[in-house]
Structure 1
């Protein structure tokens, strides 16, 4: 049941995201679209409640509950960022919004560092939920829950190593970055207007 709900929450996330953005831009109903996007947290709340009920009813704490905790942690840390990431690109494509920022060098490193902090938050939220489940189970077998705490920690370490690699090997701007209007990772308001012949570039 928990696994089914995790899948349903993931599918529901993208369905609500697509519906909300479709209402905001192609349908030009921004308030209605925003209301639909605000329904996203209810999916994670439902998953948390069902997971707690499953444990309360005597289900053995296993990988399903660990996966649920990690999924909730991911949504807390990256859910809003994902919404903004997709929203910027849909706005650019359908509503004449600015081109999404392309980051290089120190700007790219700083952005990746912020994403790593989100991974830290994800692991912390998941670890807290798992620890609560461990205390709730008491003397039962909680080895699976502790292993998922370790999964979150490994994600933090691996992501941290990736960020460090950008310090050693910075991401360099392509030679045609200026022509595309993305030099230096600056946002659209900071750039000079593109000449007419470039407006059709995607």
Structure 2
């Protein structure tokens, strides 16, 4: 059931995002658009409550419960930048806004961007691991929460790999290709 709820929450996130941007730019109703955009993060609350109810009801923690925590962490940490990214493109396409700025591809600007994204990943890791630890404590039975401990290890490895990649952009910055340097 939790996997289906995660899928439904992801779909609802994009529905609220699309409806909010459509209301803002196509219908020219910015207040309605803002109200709909607020619905996107509220989807995470629904997932958190459902997962808590499921675990409190005696369910054994599975990888799905860990995925729910990871999804919530990602959504909280990256959700605002995803909404900002979509808003810039929607405004450009439908409201005559300026063209979205492309992210830097080379040099120190790229390294700074990679570290900023790593910072968001660290926030997502912190939120997800905090939720996982809270669930482990709430259940209070290590036999029923082994899958959640596995998720903490997995998320930590992923964050470590992300950090190594960000560090590589600092130590070995990408250089523009010859054709890009001439323009």
Aligned-residue offset at 1:165: 2.2
Post-superposition shift, 1:90?
1.4
For 2:109, the equivalent position in structure 1 comes to 107
Structure 2 counterparts to residues 25-174 of structure 1, below 5 A: 25-102=25-102, 103=104, 104-141=106-143, 142-173=145-176
Distance in structure 2 (CA, Å) of the matches to 1:40 and 1:178: 44
Is the CA contact 2:14–2:40 (under 8 Å) kept in the aligned structure 1? no
Distance 1:115 1:32 in 2: 30
TM-score, structure 1 as length reference: 0.82
TM-score between the two structures when normalised by the length of structure 2: 0.90
Displacement of 1:81 in angstroms is 0.9
Matched residue of 1:99: which SS?
coil
Segments of 5+ residues of structure 2 without an aligned counterpart are none
Q: Does structure 2 conserve the Cα–Cα contact (< 8 Å) formed by 1:119 and 1:155?
A: no
Is the CA contact 1:92–1:99 (under 8 Å) kept in the aligned structure 2? yes
Structure 1, unaligned stretches of length 5 or more?
180-202
Question: Where in structure 2 are the equivalents of 1:6-25 lying within 5 Å?
Answer: 6-25=6-25
Larger Rg computed on CA atoms:
1
Bigger proportion of residues as helix: 2
Paired with 1:24 and 1:170, the residues of 2 have a C-alpha distance of 39
Cα deviation for residue 114 of structure 1 reads 0.7
Pair 1:140–1:168, CA change in 2 (3 A): closer
Q: SS of 2:26's equivalent?
A: coil
Corresponding residue pairs, total: 179
Q: Kindly report structure 1 stretches of 4+ aligned residues shifted beyond 4 Å.
A: 173-179
Q: CA RMSD in A?
A: 1.8
